[in-house]
Amino acid sequence: MAYTSFFRDTDALNAISDLVIPAISHARSIRVWDAGCATGEEPFTLAILFAAKLGAFHFRNLDILATDYEESNYAQFEERIRRAEYSRQDVFWVPAAHRDQYFEPAESPEAFRLTAPIRERVRYLKHDLLTLVPPETGQSLIVCKNVLMHFSPADQVQVLEMFHSALLPGGFLALDGNQAMPEAFSARFPRVERGTPLFQKPVG
């Protein structure tokens, strides 16, 4: 199922905003992989969070790779993300100040389009997580929400191994609040702060 929405999973988003963005914002290249991005609401939410925290100079260093295997009834994710147009109902959960700043009226009536600076930060690639080969490595942050629950425990462990290999040392992994981190990863993906679904690959 490809259910998604803007600003979904507040705990993860607050942790990204408060703990991750300040830690990675000065890198010359800020690489984020949104794994299982569905129709784009999630990667665009991430781009908005970064835009709201970073000045224009650092924001240009952000590169969000949004991937999905598109095998649901809602295919054509790439086209939806490229158009970046969403209905009034879709943008309901976007805080009003962000809606005013980062969306503009779209050609279709009653629709809104992300502004160009936000659109330009998000790339889409079709990718199946169960290939266990990361599309790109050197990531500062991987976001994987409401996806791992669809996999067997053994597949979850293998996908987490792949995430670990795709992250830079000190890189972050944000999951949804319902996803437990398997015991086997407690040292390799320690939780950043109690109560947050945010984990960090140790530097050493």
1 binds ligand SAM (CB under 6 A): yes
Q: How far apart are CA 22 and CA 168, in angstroms?
A: 16
178 binds ligand SAM (CB under 6 A): no
Q: How far apart are CA 53 and CA 185, in angstroms?
A: 31
Nearest alpha-carbon partner for 53 in 21, 29, 31: 21
Contact 150, 38 (CB under 8 A): no
Q: Which of 91, 122, 147, 173 binds ligand SAM (CB under 6 A)?
A: 147
Nearer to ligand SAM, 4 or 200 (CB): 4
Contact 34, 46 (CB under 8 A): yes
Q: Three-class SS of residue 4? A: coil
43 binds ligand SAM (CB under 6 A): no
Which helix (H) or strand (E) covers residue 82, if one does? helix 77-83
Binding flags for ligand SAM, 47-86, as an x/- string (CB under 6 A): ---------------------xx--x--------------
**Could you tell me how many residues of this chain bind ligand SAM (CB under 6 A)?**
18
CB of 53 to ligand SAM, least distance (A): 21
Site residues for ligand SAM per CB under 6 A? 1-4, 8, 36, 38, 42, 68-69, 72, 128-130, 145-147, 150
